[in-house]
Amino acid sequence: MKLTIIGTGYVGLVTGACFAEMGNTVTCVDIDKKKIEGLKKGVLPIYEPGLESVVTNNHKNGRLNFCTALNDPEAESDVYFIAVGTPPGEDGSADLQYVLAVAREIGRHISRYTVVVDKSTVPVGTADKVRDAIREELKKRGVDVPCDVVSNPEFLKEGAAVEDFMRPDRVVIGTDSEQVRKVMRDLYLPFMRNHERLLFMGVRDAEMTKYAGNAMLATKISFMNEIANLCELMGVDVENVRQGIGSDSRIGYSFIYPGAGYGGSCFPKDVKALVRMARNHDFEPKVLDAVEARNEAQKHVLFEKIRRRYGANLKGMTFGLWGLAFKPGTDDMREASSVVLLNELLGAGATVKAYDPVAMTAAKREFPRAWFDGGQLKLVDEQYSALDGVDAMILITEWKPFRHPDFERIRKIMKKAVIFDGRNLYDPQLLRDAGFEYSGIGR
């Protein structure tokens, strides 16, 4: 099948590459010329495990192409996927300007029956707006071209997006058209030879499913963080509590790890957008408000521990930070807990030496140049270098190389053997027996 993907971010690039991997002819379109030129040369704008080889191999074999405009002959297609960003507005609602701009552009160019797929995370009712925008442009052209708009939300985890796409646990498709059902089933069946995992539903149902799914996962995280904070006050080890409740099959172990708060491009944005949707319908989302409030507070927990230990003025102190990305497996620092923590540490006068396996370039873009020029924030190229001569170590992203480090080496190179564990990665008793002062979350 011939496909066009508009947008080459996490969702668009993974979608295009994986469809091409299954033999489809795919063109990815993005108005960012520099990004497109880079992709043609095999330079990816994001880090995602396994994605680079899929992109480069399919581009080399002619199944995956890149261009900057829908009027390019390569971009003519049977199915158009809209995969552009929907950043949060000032009120938390999803900004649809890019989605609707793409819809209008599609309306200016299609000449035969077309299926338009909303792959971006969009509020309930967006498919109607996309359809109206396309029809408006067709009317201006004085043509009557049939078009169906489908909701096909993505459920990709950053750090495992290629695997999630190639082996989905479900594919949600919102449509009322039998013709669209056939097109989408044909498109996705190669990804589910073991058994079909297509879930067909109404368009609005599919749009809500994406938000409800992310909000549910965010709720589990915030709930566990709240329990962890309570455990700490009551002399309870939350790790034992986590295992105790996780063994209940109705709860499970996923997304109940306490920590320094969730981040990334999905959970924070989607919870805020769902809250805004609720209020737009005069509904008070009390649970969602609490989820968001707990997460915002949780991002300050590590600094509060540091402040209680050392006082409000940290001038003259140096901290070693392990991790910058919002989670392992990605270089994404959007809404990352590390950003909040670094702003607080540097604001209190501290110096920080930081290391992350893949997010160093992203960090250089994220933070003010003055921090680097003034020496307050130093990015080092090796994890132990971040701990040399520091007053305390802080772990905030649970990358695999951080899980079982050489603690004897760490104790020798640190000025003081103090560890603040923002992801409960280490055993408190083992570290205390090894001569460390240890502080975790709810332990």
Enumerate the active-site residues.
266
Give the C-alpha separation, 10 to 164, whole Å: 13
Helix (H, G, I), strand (E, B) or coil at 94: strand
Would you list the DSSP string of 375-421? TSEEE-SSTGGGGTT-SEEEE-S--GGGTS--HHHHHHHSSS-EEEE
Give the C-alpha separation, 400 to 80, whole Å: 38
Closest among 210, 248, 55 to 118, alpha carbons compared: 210
Q: Which two tokens stand for residue 256?
A: 């109940």
Q: Are the C-beta atoms of 152 and 173 separated by less than 8 Å? A: yes
Pairing verdict, β 171-174 and 198-201: parallel
Give the C-alpha separation, 354 to 329, whole Å: 17
The three-point CA angle 190-191-195 to 5° equals: 95
Beta bridge partners of residue 117, listed in sequence order: 81, 150
Cα-to-chain-centroid distance, residue 122? 15
What's 176's DSSP letter?
S
Helix (H, G, I), strand (E, B) or coil at 198: strand
Give the C-alpha separation, 112 to 154, whole Å: 26
Q: Which two tokens stand for residue 239?
A: 């790790």
Q: Are the C-beta atoms of 200 and 233 separated by less than 8 Å? A: no
Would you list the DSSP string of 206-269? HHHHHHHHHHHHHHHHHHHHHHHHHHHHHT--HHHHHHHHHTSTTT-STT----S---SSSHHH
Query: Dihedral (C-alpha) 352, 353, 357, 361: value to the nearest 10 degrees?
Result: 70
306-310: list long-range contacts, CB under 8 Å, 24+ apart. 306/345, 306/392, 306/394, 306/420, 307/348, 309/392, 309/418, 309/439, 310/391
Amino acid symbol at 438? Y
Beta bridge partners of residue 82, listed in sequence order: 6, 118
